[in-house]
Amino acid sequence: MEDKLFYSIGEVAKEFDLNYSTLRYWEEEFAMLKPQRNKRGVRLYRKEDVELIRQIVYLTREKKMTISGAKQAIRGEKYKDADYTEVIDTLMHAKRFLTELKSNLKE
């Protein structure tokens, strides 16, 4: 994900292969996930928000935790280290590359 101050909900959803509704739901469930909004009410995710979403994705997808379990883990900051973030980034990029490759092969 390119480095900038704010990311749209579309950019964040695409980066983590999530639905917009999932991100909106997580805002309700995770008190610390509060993207800013512009005058029109459009969500603007900061880098910190994106990192929190990365943790939630890791905990719910990779560690198969429930939302409740992910909340507890984040509150306890068990998984707040850079090691898994780097691995997740690499895997996400590889997944995008392979998906593009697959779609190009079908053409």
Give the separation between CA 26 and CA 65, rounded to whole angstroms: 14
In the chain, what are the domains?
A: 9-106 (1.10.1660.10)
Give the separation between CA 34 and CA 31, rounded to whole angstroms: 7
DSSP sequence for 30-87: -TT---EE-TT--EEB-HHHHHHHHHHHIIIIIS---HHHHHHHHHHTTT-SHHHHHH
pLDDT in tens, 34-73: 999 999 999 999 999 999 999 999 999 988 999 998 988 8
| Phi–psi pair at 42, nearest 5 degrees | -75, 130
Question: How far is Cα of residue 59 from the mean position of the Cα atoms in its chain?
Answer: 11
The pLDDT value recorded for residue 8 is: 94
pTM above 0.85, yes or no: no
Higher pLDDT among residues 82 and 25, named by residue: 25
Instruction: Report, as an integer, the average pLDDT of 14-43.
Output: 94
Residues with Cβ < 8 Å from 36, sequence gap 6 or more? 6, 43, 44, 46
The mean pLDDT of the chain is 87
